[in-house]
């Protein structure tokens, strides 16, 4: 099920729950990203509780035993280890699913793969791929646009000296989820709210994600070619007077003051730095596919 399949005005949780209950098989695409997603954990728990066949498909080196919730439910199931031989193992996955649901197996050629710089549009999200898994089936996209003006990470005085726990350095979805747990986050956290205005699956990038498409000249050049062709706002080059927020929180302490801040990337210097949460910087969003 994709976001576009959910009717306008319907509650995601309700629709997803009913879809899981009514499906014939559930495939868990297991990675370090899905392993820390509360949504994925909840969905697999529903499938497990409703005795649905669960086919775990592992796409990176994340170890099941490091994640207690998934280990409890799935340690006795047969896993398809796709990393790094994804082509052969993906065909195995298709065959397993086909046997479970009783339909003929499609060919691997019918499944779209991506590379860095590809235009991505699934009918809901539009962006350019800046990072992909080795098999090309999954990755991350950067938004076609950026914020028109600078904005604070947090605009609430009460939130300035609060440590949220949004400290993941390579997965902005995790950090954004932490912020969304706060009552009234849309008004208190403008940088996150801007990303969410593009759609529920968009998030403020973590520090490592932002570095890839801002400070890696090769990636930035490839992505900018597609943005230019598709009418998007090109990524800024190093040396330009502009800086961008990340979702990665930072806490620094010295003998005089305590500074609660978040990481940014400054394009003028080409370096990451920590900035007070009430400072103003630009925002660019990312999403996972």
Among 81, 110, 139, the domain boundary falls at 110
Among 59, 76, 110, the domain boundary falls at 110
Of residues 273 and 104, more confidence is placed in 273
64 and 134 inside one domain:
no
Q: What is the pTM of this model?
A: 0.66
Record the tokens describing residue 181, joined without a space. 């747990």
Cβ neighbourhood burial of 250 (10 Å; 0-12, 13-18, 19+): buried
Structure confidence at residue 87 as a pLDDT band (50, 70, 90): low
Q: Which residue has the tokens 């898994």?
A: 133
Range 138-143 average pLDDT: 95
Structure confidence at residue 92 as a pLDDT band (50, 70, 90): confident
Per-residue model confidence as pLDDT tens digits over 227-242? 999 999 999 887 788 9
Taking a C-beta distance cutoff of 8 angstroms, is the pair 152, 204 a contact? no
Taking a C-beta distance cutoff of 8 angstroms, is the pair 197, 203 a contact? no
- pLDDT reading at 261 higher than 80: yes
Strand partners, 26: 54
Structure confidence at residue 8 as a pLDDT band (50, 70, 90): very low
Record the tokens describing residue 29, joined without a space. 């695409």
User: Mean pLDDT score of the chain, rounded to an integer?
Assistant: 86
CB neighbourhood size of 137 (10 A): 18
Range 76-98 average pLDDT: 79
98 and 200 inside one domain:
no
124 and 267 inside one domain:
yes
Range 239-246 average pLDDT: 92
C-alpha–C-alpha distance, residues 179 and 168, integer Å: 12
Among 110, 135, 157, the domain boundary falls at 110
Least confident range of 191-200, 219-228, 231-240: 231-240
pLDDT (0 to 100) of residue 24: 86
C-alpha–C-alpha distance, residues 146 and 234, integer Å: 9
Structure confidence at residue 152 as a pLDDT band (50, 70, 90): very high
pLDDT (0 to 100) of residue 252: 57
pLDDT (0 to 100) of residue 229: 97
What percent of the chain is modeled with pLDDT above 90?
A: 48
Range 176-182 average pLDDT: 90
3-state secondary structure of 12: helix
- pLDDT reading at 65 higher than 60: yes
Of residues 101 and 32, more confidence is placed in 32
- pLDDT reading at 283 higher than 90: yes
Q: State the DSSP string of 11-43.
A: -HHHHHHHHHHH-S-EEEEESHHHHT-HHHHHH
127 and 225 inside one domain:
yes
94 and 135 inside one domain:
no
Record the tokens describing residue 102, joined without a space. 């009783």
8 and 141 inside one domain:
no
pLDDT (0 to 100) of residue 9: 46
N- to C-terminal Cα separation, the chain: 13
CATH, residue 228: 3.10.100
pLDDT (0 to 100) of residue 82: 84
181 and 61 inside one domain:
no
128 and 222 inside one domain:
yes
Structure confidence at residue 4 as a pLDDT band (50, 70, 90): very low
Q: Which of 141, 139, 172 has its CA nearest to residue 245? A: 172
132 and 104 inside one domain:
no
CATH, residue 78: 3.40.50.10140
List of E strands, the chain: 26-30, 54-58, 80-81, 119-121, 126-132, 139-146, 151-152, 243-253, 258-266, 271-276, 280-281, 284-288
What's the domain range around 267?
119-288
104 and 134 inside one domain:
no
């Amino acid at each position: 099920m994709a976001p576009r399949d959910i009717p306008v005005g319907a509650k995601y949780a309700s629709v997803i729950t009913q879809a899981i209950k009514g499906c014939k098989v559930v495939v868990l695409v297991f990675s370090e990203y899905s392993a820390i997603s509360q949504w994925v954990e909840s969905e697999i728990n529903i499938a497990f509780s409703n005795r649905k066949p669960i086919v775990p498909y592992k796409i990176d080196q994340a170890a099941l035993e490091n994640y207690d919730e998934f280990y409890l439910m799935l340690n006795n199931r047969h896993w398809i280890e796709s990393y790094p031989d994804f082509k052969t193992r993906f065909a195995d996955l298709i065959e397993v699913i086909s046997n479970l649901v009783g339909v003929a197996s499609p060919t691997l050629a019918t499944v779209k793969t991506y590379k860095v710089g590809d235009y991505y549009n699934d009918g809901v999200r539009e962006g350019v791929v800046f990072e992909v898994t080795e098999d090309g089936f999954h990755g991350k996209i950067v938004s076609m646009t950026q914020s028109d003006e600078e904005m604070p990470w947090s605009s609430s005085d009460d939130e300035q000296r609060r440590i949220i726990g949004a400290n993941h350095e390579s997965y902005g979805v995790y950090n954004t989820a932490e912020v969304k747990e706060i009552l009234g986050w849309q008004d208190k956290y403008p940088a996150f709210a801007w990303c969410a205005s593009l759609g529920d699956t968009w998030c403020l990038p973590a520090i490592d994600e932002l570095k890839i498409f801002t400070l890696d000249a090769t990636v930035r050049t490839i992505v900018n070619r597609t943005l230019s062709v598709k009418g998007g706002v090109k990524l800024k080059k190093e040396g330009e007077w502009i800086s961008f927020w990340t979702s990665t929180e930072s806490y620094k302490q010295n003998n005089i003051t305590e500074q609660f801040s978040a990481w940014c990337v400054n394009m003028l210097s080409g370096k990451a730095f920590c900035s007070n949460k009430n400072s103003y910087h630009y925002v660019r969003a990312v999403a996972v596919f």
